[in-house]
Amino acid sequence: MISKIKKWIRKNKGEFYLLLLILAVGAILRLYKIGGYMTFLGDEGRDAIIVRRLLVNFDPVLIGPGTSIGNMYLGPLYYYLSAPFLLFANFSPVGPSVMVALFGVATIYLIWYIARLWFGKGAGMVSSLLYALAPVVIIYNRSSWNPNIMPFFALLTIFSLWKVWGEEKFSWFVVMGVSFAFVLQSHYLGLLLLPVILFFWSLKHWGLFRNSDLEISNYPGNYLKKSYIKNLLIGTIVFAVLMSPLLIFDLRHNFMNFNNIKTFFTQRETTVSVKPWKSLPNIYPIFRDSVVHRLVAAQNILAGKISINIIVFAVVTYMVLMLTKLKRILFTSDEKLYFDKGALLLIVWIGSGLIGLGLYKQHVYDHYFGFIYPAIFLLIGAIYQKIMNSHFDGLKIIITAWIVVLIGSYVVYSPVRGQPNFQMARAADVAKVIREDAGSSKFNLAVVAVQNYEDGYQYFLEKDGANVTDIDALRLEETMGEYLYVVCELPEENCDPVNSPKAEVANFGWSKVVGKWGRGGVTIFKLAHVTP
């Protein structure tokens, strides 16, 4: 293997050094001042608390983060994946964020490799370069959050599908089982990869790829059948084992998660529709506004208009050619059907995702598209390669100008040009103020904010040994502290900690402000009990 790599490098020195440059740039954009740029709010603090307890208290977890709607829980794989990085970083939340950044760099490499394999050298360089520079991708690649690893594992799932059905290398069933389990445990929208897997499984078994370089007849005896069954079984078992913590949790809790998932999909008035045709009016707006305008064009209006026109024209042209070939084969029994399998896989992958998102009735956020992030940039690389391989010089100029405009947009709107948010540093500083003032006293914590809650601050309090507890209304005497510290992230004139409707404040009972500090743009109030 090493000798093959060395031989390839000697033969492709220019490409190799350009790839190294792209990977280096991608790594710098993701790791540069990551502690200052990373998001560290309630969700990130919650995850850090759970992973730290896993490491320090050997407290195993069977479920992962909860979903924003539906009260459903993901699996715990993200927590176990984060644990070594939190430990190696001496329990700094930067560790898991570095992990996500490294997965982002690995995705850049995998995009280059797949694009080059499917479409050519130009596609590999363009796809990987754009993914390395894309602002939305960078933002999600430098914070520790379970959806942020989904692009890597979604791409690995699709590549495994390619190896199994495109090259008949059935050992990749195992990789598919592992990667698909990680996809589902990073976000349930990863389920939209399942139609892609089933579609290509159907194509293979219908024999539509009769021109495969690896025909069944090439294998002696029953080797193919035995290899297929064995690896499919192993891959299925691996997948089941990785998903088993969720099953164990449900068995212990009266199938709570299963019932919530069932409710989510059956109460369709406000969540999802199961009628695929209902998504048709939403597909183009979602693709134009969310995928192209935000992800591809970085919200640059000119780049967005150019991108949507080129991509739609290229996809429609390919679909027309594909349907024409399909029509010929249906009426010409002796002609083999040939598809550009890489392009077809991309279109089915993106199409399945857009149809699924079109059925979703809630707001669609950027991270929801994580499972098709790589597909979009692979598609751009494919379009670039096809045009550059053609004889149309005018189109070559247009496609090159398009790539230049995209790169320019990414540089102008690069998130590293903005000021760091220092959310983690603020949380640590606020926790230090509270810890030093409270001393050994038992206390409670509350956060008054628009979109945040206690766990970001509580992580550092627990990490540094503060005697902080959560108030349990059913066990007030055990859990109520001597003081309540309220961190108000609103403008100070809008802060009224004593009369806040927050449950943590209400459970503390009658109180008065006995101390106040300002730190990092927030106000810390110290409340003590008073007799009514």
As a whole number of angstroms, the distance between CA 285 and CA 475 comes to: 51
- List 229's β-bridge partners, or say none: none
- pLDDT for res 448: 93
Pairing of β 483-488 and β 443-448 = parallel
520 falls in which pLDDT band (50, 70, 90)? confident
Distances (CA, A) of 186 to 151, 181, 457: 10, 9, 24
pTM exceeding 0.85: yes
* Tens of pLDDT, residues 93-127: 999 999 999 999 999 999 999 999 999 999 999 99
Distance CA 95, CA 84 (A): 8
Q: What is the pLDDT of residues 320-376, one digit of tens each?
A: 877 776 666 555 554 455 557 788 889 899 998 888 887 776 667 788 888 999 999
Residue 270 confidence class, pLDDT cut points 50, 70, 90 = low
Q: How far apart are CA 466 and CA 460, in angstroms?
A: 9
Structure confidence at residue 517 as a pLDDT band (50, 70, 90): very high
- Reported as a pLDDT band with limits 50, 70 and 90, residue 59 is confident
* Cα–Cα dist 130/134, whole Å: 6
State whether residue 495 is helix, strand or coil.
coil
Alpha carbon distance 111, 296 (integer Å): 15
- Tens of pLDDT, residue by residue over 159-191, are 999 998 878 888 999 999 999 999 999 988 888
Give the up-direction half-sphere exposure of residue 26: CA atoms within 13 A in the CB hemisphere.
31
Q: Which residues contact 478 (CB under 8 A, 6 or more apart)?
A: 472
